[in-house]
């Protein structure tokens, strides 16, 4: 992580993506460990794996070998960084991840973010874990931040080994040029659309998780420490609670560390994305109370080789690293959730329809077992418009079977449009599908004369019934009730001796129109025109 607080930098984008494939200063130094809000309330929904320390260290060995072969570092713009990206991406591609290499330019050098998506999970609920992959130029960066990179890599590979299928979509990220000011993660967040940002349910950051004189720090999502920058965005407290719970299960006390913006969570919290993570200390010095609580040497830096050439394989505490790698897994398994072993889907045919007042319409509700074994499914409908009822035959099926949904509109049902949600409440899971319903209900127009009809977009109709009527001098009034969501227009026409001429009209942008016209005696008629949209209409009119 950067030694000093980041200064905003200008990043020139070379390409958005090539598809294919922390705290640095003194940590919070209160004399007592932070409480674990919600401990005992956040429960992992699937068995969390024990992450292999040997596997994590094998990745660190590779990072060290890469640095040794490339000038002693893995810094931005240097061949050691590119080789580190290639190593991590090769592992992920082989495990079945969808990887993307995102490029940017900084100080005239091309930088890379590596993004890896695990197929499956809800794409509208994305859980991310990230770590910066670059080192400083002074050394190989094994603790800063080979440990975070190796930790999330091994967790990602364990997801693949177990074919883990969480509720949320899992995404892992390795950031470039963090040591130069969070450049890579800033670029990633800045290039996300507002819609894509909203899909990220949480971001976990792991920066320096194996410090040789380390502590156990958790980012203070709820600002329970009451110091520094305040709480993270809504949801950050939950991410903190999950990590607190993990360390409580192994009887390791923790302390909070502030969201001071010095690692890659910064760009995420800036745009309102919940964040959390762990950190084991950098150049800050361990207090006596911390040494009593965690072991290690009071008065010495958590990482004596921070940003130095000695940040190599000898600069790691195995116990600290092992516990934090397991914390990564606990967080991803717990917050990610676990899909049920058995699941099903619902589809509707047709998925939309128009219903006349006093009539019925049907659609076939098909269910299919999509995972595991079949289950009993109870069907129901929600979001019905006024005057419409629903019935299923049968009302309960076994996934793989079908039912018929009948929608019935009362005689006095008003015109409306709605999406009816058809829900299947299974014995092990629940799913739903939508039916777009248009009701051509009773007319809101009350008059002594009336006519009904149906028009397609662009069509016209003459009323009454393609004919005309004779009227004395006086006032004509008319009301058109068109189908919701359309643009219907109304014209009053008079025979002038050789053709029908418009004498009044109402052409708003909506479905309903009104005319009031004071005219001489003669022959009259109304024209209804469907400017856009289709459906049934009602016309009422009064003659002088």
Residues 6+ apart with CB under 8 A from 276: 202, 203, 204, 205, 218, 219, 221, 232, 236, 239, 240, 242, 243, 265, 331
**Which DSSP string do the residues of 308-329 spell out, in sequence order?**
STT-SGGGB-HHHHHHHHHHHH
Among 364, 354, 357, 381, smallest CA distance to 437 is for 354
Asked if 437 contacts 417 with a C-beta cutoff of 8 angstroms, the reply is yes
Among 135, 142, 133, smallest CA distance to 172 is for 133
d(CA 101, CA 88): 11
d(CA 119, CA 121): 7
Q: How far is CA 80 from the centre of its chain?
A: 34
Measured N-to-C along each axis, helices 79-95 and 148-161 cross at an angle, to the nearest 10 degrees, of: 20
Among 308, 319, 400, 417, smallest CA distance to 72 is for 308
d(CA 388, CA 414): 9
Nearest-Å Rg of the Cα atoms of the chain is 33
H helices, E strands: number in the chain: 9, 27
- 178 catalytic per annotation: yes
Integer angstrom CA distances of residue 256 from 228, 321, 509, 511: 11, 18, 58, 60
> Which of 154, 158, 178, 179 does the annotation list as catalytic?
178
The upper half-sphere exposure of residue 113, i.e. CA atoms within 13 Å in the direction of its Cβ, equals: 29
What residues are labeled active site? 178
């Amino acid at each position: 992580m950067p030694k000093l607080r980041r200064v905003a930098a200008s990043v020139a984008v070379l390409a958005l993506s090539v598809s294919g494939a922390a705290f640095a200063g003194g940590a919070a130094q209160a004399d007592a460990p932070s409480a674990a809000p919600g401990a005992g309330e956040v429960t992992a929904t699937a068995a969390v794996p024990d992450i292999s320390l040997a596997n994590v260290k094998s990745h660190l060995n590779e990072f060290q070998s890469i640095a040794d072969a490339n000038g002693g570092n893995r810094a931005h713009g240097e061949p050691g960084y590119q080789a580190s990206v290639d190593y991590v991406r090769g592992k992920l591609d082989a495990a079945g991840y969808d990887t993307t290499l995102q490029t940017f330019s900084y100080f005239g050098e091309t930088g890379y973010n590596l993004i890896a998506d695990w197929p499956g999970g809800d794409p509208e609920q994305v859980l991310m874990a990230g770590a910066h992959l670059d080192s400083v130029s002074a050394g190989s960066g094994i603790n800063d931040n080979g440990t975070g990179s190796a930790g999330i890599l091994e967790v990602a590979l364990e997801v693949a080994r177990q074919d883990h299928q969480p509720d949320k979509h899992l995404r892992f990220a390795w950031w470039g040029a963090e040591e130069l000011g969070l450049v890579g993660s800033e670029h990633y967040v800045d290039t996300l659309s507002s819609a894509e940002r909203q899909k990220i349910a949480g971001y976990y950051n792991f920066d320096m998780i194996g410090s040789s004189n380390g502590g156990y720090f958790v980012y203070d999502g709820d600002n329970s420490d009451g110091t520094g920058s305040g709480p993270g965005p809504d949801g950050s407290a939950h991410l903190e609670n999950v990590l607190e719970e993990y360390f409580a299960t192994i009887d390791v006390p923790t302390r909070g560390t502030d969201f001071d913006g010095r690692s890659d969570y910064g760009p995420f919290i800036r745009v309102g994305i919940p964040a959390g993570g762990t950190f084991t200390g950098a150049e800050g010095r361990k207090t006596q109370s911390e040494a009593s609580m965690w072991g290690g040497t009071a008065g010495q830096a958590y990482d004596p080789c921070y940003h130095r050439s000695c940040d190599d394989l000898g600069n790691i505490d195995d116990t600290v690293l092992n516990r934090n790698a397991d914390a990564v897994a606990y967080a991803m398994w717990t917050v990610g959730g676990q899909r049920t072993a058995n699941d099903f889907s619902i589809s509707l045919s047709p998925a939309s329809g128009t219903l006349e007042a006093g009539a019925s319409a049907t659609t076939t509700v098909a269910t299919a077992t999509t995972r595991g074994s079949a289950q009993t499914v109870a069907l129901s409908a929600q979001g019905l418009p006024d005057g419409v009822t629903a019935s299923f035959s049968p009302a309960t099926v076994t996934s793989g079977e079908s039912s018929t949904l009948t929608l019935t509109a009362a005689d006095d049902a008003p015109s409306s449009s709605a999406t009816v949600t058809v829900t299947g409440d299974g014995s092990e899971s629940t799913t739903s599908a939508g039916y777009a319903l248009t009701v051509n209900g009773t007319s809101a127009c009350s008059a002594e004369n009336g006519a009904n009809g149906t028009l397609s977009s662009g069509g016209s109709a003459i009323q009454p019934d393609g004919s005309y009527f004779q009227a004395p001098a006086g006032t004509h009034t008319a009301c058109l009730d068109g189908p919701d969501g359309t643009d219907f227009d109304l014209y009053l026409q008079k025979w002038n001796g050789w053709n029908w001429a418009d004498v009044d009209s109402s052409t708003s942008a909506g479905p309903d129109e009104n005319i009031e016209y004071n005219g001489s005696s003669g022959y009259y008629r109304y024209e209804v025109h469907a400017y856009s949209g289709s459906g049934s209409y009602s016309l009422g009119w009064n003659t002088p």
